[in-house]
Structures are given as C-alpha cells and as structure tokens.
Amino acid sequence: MPVADLRRLDLNLLVVFQHLLELRNLSAVARRLDLTQPAVSNALRRLRESLGDDLFVRTGQGMLPTPFAERLAGPVGEALGLLTRMLDADEVFDPISSTRRLRIAMSDVGEIHFMPRLMETCAQRAPGVRIDSVRAGGAELQRELELGHIDVAVGAFDDLGGDVVQRMLFRQGYMTLFRDGHPQAHEGMSLKAFRAQSHLAVSRAAPYGQVNQALEAAGISLQAHFSVPHFSAVPYILSATDLLATVPAKLAASAAPRFGLRMLAPPLRVPPLQTNLYWQRRFQRDGGSLWLRGLIVDLFAEPAGQAPRRQIGASSTL
C-alpha cells in the first residue's frame, strides 16, 4: 500500500491485527477486546481490503498468518507499543468514572484469596471497573505483561525477567487440612502417623510445587495417593473423605470454617512461600495499573511486604 494510502487505514484495525497474531482465533480476540465476533470479522475484512492480502487463513490450527502478515508483525507491534507509551504518560485514571477492564494473572488458589475482596472493594470504590483473573505463566506471562494484555500478576512467578518489577506482598507457610471428626488426624501428630494417612495431592501445584517435594522427601509417595490438578476442589473433597491435604496457610485458614475442616501444622519441612506483585516497567505510569497496584498493596500487603522492592532488569517504584 503506498504511503499516501495510510490515511485510509483505521488504527483500530491494527489493534485487531496484533491480537489475531497472538490468539489466532476470532472469538478469542472478540472476548479480549469486548467486541462481537461479527465486529472482529468485519475489521479483518476491512484490513484485508486496505492491505490487499488475506493476512490470516483459517486452518485446523486456527487463523494462521500469511507471510505478508508475518512481515508486518514486528513493525505493527513496535508502532502500537510506541503509541501506548506516549499515551500512558498523560493518562488520568478516575476509578469512580472509569469503565476499564483490568486483568490480573494468578493461580486458582490466588483467586480464592484475592478475588472476593478485590471485587467487593471495586464495587465500592470503582463501580464501573471490572477485574478479570487470567491464567498465564513463564514466557506467556512475560509476553502478556510486555504487551499490556495483562496489567499485573500476583503469586510466586520466579521465572519472570526483563523489565518486570516485583514487590513482595507477604510470606506464608503451609497447613494440613482434614475433616472435623477424622479418626486419626490431630495437631501434633508424628511424622510416622502422618505418613500412614491417605493424602490428597495437587498435581499442578506450581508455583506451590515445593509442598509436593517436601511430601516426597518425607517418604509420602504421591504416586500412591489421590490427586487433583488444582487447589479449588480440595476443600470439597476433604469435607467428604478421610484424606489429608497440605496447602498454603491462607487457603487453609479460609477454607476450614467454610467446609467444616480442621488444621494441623504438618510434621515436615516446607520452605515458606513468598507472594509478590508484578508489573511491566513500561506501564509504571499507567493510571489504571497504578491504581490497581495500590489497591492490591492496601488490601493484602503484610508488614513484611514493606521490605524494599526488587526489580528484575531495571529500578523503579510502585
């Protein structure tokens, strides 16, 4: 397309293009941008007409980019990133009137701890703001933070690098949950008695995997016990069985009264878990991100969380 014809190109179409490059699915792009699928399809049609290329071809693996679309990916990403940074510098975020949708990466156990209070507080302080919890980790989380698709992350994501800032919120240990009336479990039980019980393990416990390592080191072979992939089902199962489950202490304290469960300090060594708040340095001055970070710190940071922040890759402040 000649340079003069750039006047005919709607910038919003490039935003759709960038999200299609990542998600390869029209419905997924529509959900992320809060649009209808026909609106995204129409945007793709207009972009194809403007650029004279199919850009994306439907396959069994999703909407795959054409070679021309792949060549455009880098320049479009850089251009949109530059515009975002320029606009971020002067953004004014008013929580009372904002209708922004903010996205937080966290685990299922994080959702149990963080989301109820965040939603309740948003309803009071920012009635039009909506918060989405999303799953991401590793390279995917790194990329989503850099692109601004995720505003912050909370948890124990030790593999983040680049210009990611982190602030400690709190540290916690682990507690073992069991149903009230369990015939053998009790506070102060020996390691031998603990090993003799049937346990419920969380197989996809990352970033809480050290508890599984500690159980194995104590002689409790997880292959010989029951397991579920996530923490959210644990209290439901424990309330109806004689299984034991060793979980982060804040989850145990929250679940025990609601499900008629009791707690004991497990007779094994498990390193304490540090939960941090993470964000991308280039969104340091973004009003919505700044407000959300302040809210999370106000609601959840414990005194130990006032320790100096550590940034991976650069220095900054909350």
* 48 part of a folded domain: yes
One domain for residues 74 and 214? no
306 pLDDT more than 50: no
Which residues have a Cβ under 8 Å from the Cβ of 181 and sit 6 or more positions away? none
One domain for residues 23 and 80? yes
* 312 part of a folded domain: no
One domain for residues 155 and 293? yes
Domain interval for residue 190: 174-264
Q: From CA 281, how far away is CA 97, in angstroms rounded? A: 26
One domain for residues 130 and 253? no
| pLDDT band with cut points at 50, 70 and 90 for residue 6 | low
Question: The CATH number of the domain where 207 resides is what?
Answer: 3.40.190.10
* 311 part of a folded domain: no
Counting beta carbons within 10 angstroms of the beta carbon of residue 258, is it exposed (0 to 12), middle (13 to 18) or buried (19 or more)?
A: exposed
Write down the mean pLDDT value for the chain.
85
Structural Rg of the chain based on CA atoms: 23
One domain for residues 82 and 35? yes
Query: Helix, strand or coil for residue 305?
Result: helix
Res 309: pLDDT: 41
The pLDDT tens digits for 15-64 are 888 888 888 899 989 888 888 999 999 999 999 988 889 999 998 888 89
Choose the most confident range, by mean pLDDT, from 146-155, 196-205, 236-245: 236-245
Question: The CATH number of the domain where 35 resides is what?
Answer: 1.10.10.10
* 308 part of a folded domain: no
Q: Provide, rounded to the nearest whole percent, the portion of the chain with pLDDT above 70.
A: 88
245-248 and 174-179 beta bridge pairing: antiparallel
* 95 part of a folded domain: no
| pLDDT band with cut points at 50, 70 and 90 for residue 271 | confident
Res 307: pLDDT: 42
Q: From CA 47, how far away is CA 15, in angstroms rounded? A: 11
Q: How many CB atoms lie within 10 A of CB 83?
A: 13
In whole angstroms, how far apart are CA 215 and each of 223, 243, 252? Answer: 11, 14, 17
One domain for residues 63 and 199? no
Res 106: pLDDT: 92
Average pLDDT over residues 150-157: 91
The pLDDT tens digits for 156-172 are 887 787 788 999 999 99
Total domain count, the chain:
3
One domain for residues 73 and 106? no
Decide if 199 contacts 245 (C-beta within 8 A). Answer: yes
Q: Which residue has the higher pLDDT, 183 or 9?
A: 183
Q: Which of 82-86, 180-184, 201-205 has the lowest mean pLDDT?
A: 82-86
Which residues have a Cβ under 8 Å from the Cβ of 66 and sit 6 or more positions away? 53, 54, 55, 56, 57
Which residues have a Cβ under 8 Å from the Cβ of 103 and sit 6 or more positions away? 131, 132, 133, 134, 149, 150, 151
